[in-house]
Amino acid sequence: MIKAHLVYREFEFLRPATTSRGTFHRKKVYYIILYHTDDPSLAGIGECSLFPGLSYDDNKGFEARLKKTIDRINEGDFGSDAELIEWPSIGFALETAWKDIRAMGTKVLYPSGFTEGKDAIRINGLIWMGTREEVTRQIRQKIEDGFTCLKMKIGALDFDEELEILGSLRKECPADELEIRVDANGAFKPKMALEMIKMLSEYDLHSIEQPIPPGHTEAMAALCETSPIPIALDEELIGKHSAVERRKLLDNIKPQYIILKPGLLGGLAPSAEWIRLARERNTGWWITSTLETNIGLNAIAQWTYTLQNPMRQGLSTGNLYVSNIPSPIYLYGERLCFDPERNWDLSGLNEALLP
């Protein structure tokens, strides 16, 4: 018989994670653990990727709904729950926990050259917001580490300072040596966005992610049509649960790219549906994790590899924490790798801290 319980932990960031939404010092994480009562060692673990101020289900009812899901499983109801469409982080955790338990304790959800240690996933180097000195230091370190694609968070510093940083970086590293993506996290005002993007376009940028806040459909569509830099939608996708909503969004805005975060979109299956719709419209896409620990990152990375997208993926979150869950996943330069000879250490998840 399969039963379930919850584990709650907090993880401290190695350095404050700053975006235009604020600065985060710790990450609250809920894990759904499924296990066989006759052999508890055969467990499946799924991570709820709840991001404050961004997740669709970041509200007061989250923990109650999470406990209700656990109770339902413990009562023997393993059917699909239509209500989870409104709770994407729980949907992601449950989907990956079921895949994990079917893997019979191996944590290999999608066997491939990646999980065999024969191939890797090329990723972008993430540059967090901070002071000019902090941003410059991060950039230098990523380049020294061998990254050929950087994603730079913008919107926290004075805009002129950010332009100066990009200018200095581009002088040092031309576009054929370094791909630069910028992520505004919706920081630009719709009326000012096009002029700001035009100034950014002087630095041969690959794309700009979510320049204005989500929900300004007409303004975003106009930007996608006129912007000199390709635009990638991110937050705009959150909360679009039905196929009708997804098609409408892509057809109305016509973005050059969409960025898929399975933990915020309800799981791997909904993300795959977004990809199908994007391909039908010749819209580019890539996958990004959302500050998951190695449990969530493992599931996303293994699935991402099977998609064989040659673009750099946004999966560099495994080394963000002072103490992560030891796993076979590791970074080698700009490559996310999996060493099948390395063991998982799940001792920190053995005790259920939530009833």
Tens-digit pLDDT profile for residues 298-343: 999 999 999 999 999 999 765 788 889 999 999 999 999 999 999 9
Looking up residue 154, the CATH number of its domain turns out to be 3.20.20.120
Residues 64 and 163 in one domain: no
Looking up residue 17, the CATH number of its domain turns out to be 3.30.390.10
Of 82, 106, 130, the position where a domain reaches its end is 106
Residues 143 and 168 in one domain: yes
- For the chain, what is the domain count? 2
pLDDT of 79 reads 61
Instruction: Render pLDDT for 245-287 as a digit per residue (tens, 0 to 9).
Output: 999 999 999 999 999 999 999 999 999 999 999 999 999 999 9
What tokens appear for 188 in the block? Answer: 């630009």
Pairwise CA distance, residues 291 & 276, whole Å: 25
Residues 80 and 224 in one domain: no
Residues 7 and 155 in one domain: no
Residues 89 and 132 in one domain: no
Residues 19 and 130 in one domain: no
Q: Is the pLDDT of residue 25 over 90?
A: no
Averaged pLDDT for residues 166-195 = 96
pLDDT of 317 reads 60
Pairwise CA distance, residues 101 & 226, whole Å: 48
Residue 352 lies in a domain: no
pLDDT of 339 reads 98
Averaged pLDDT for residues 119-148 = 93
Active site residues: 153, 261
Q: Give the number of other CB atoms < 10 A from CB of residue 277.
A: 18
Pairwise CA distance, residues 31 & 44, whole Å: 10
The more confidently predicted of residues 28 and 312 is 312
Residue 85 backbone zone (phi > 0: left; psi -120 to 50: alpha; other: beta):
alpha
pLDDT of 352 reads 47
Averaged pLDDT for residues 120-125 = 97
pLDDT of 321 reads 87
Instruction: Render pLDDT for 59-101 as a digit per residue (tens, 0 to 9).
Output: 889 999 999 999 999 998 866 565 688 899 999 999 999 999 9
Task: Determine the structural domain holding residue 266 and report its residue range.
Answer: 121-338
Residue 200 lies in a domain: yes
Residue 348 lies in a domain: no
| Average pLDDT over the chain, rounded to an integer | 91
pLDDT confidence tier of residue 19, bands split at 50, 70 and 90 = low
Residues 87 and 131 in one domain: no
pLDDT of 130 reads 83
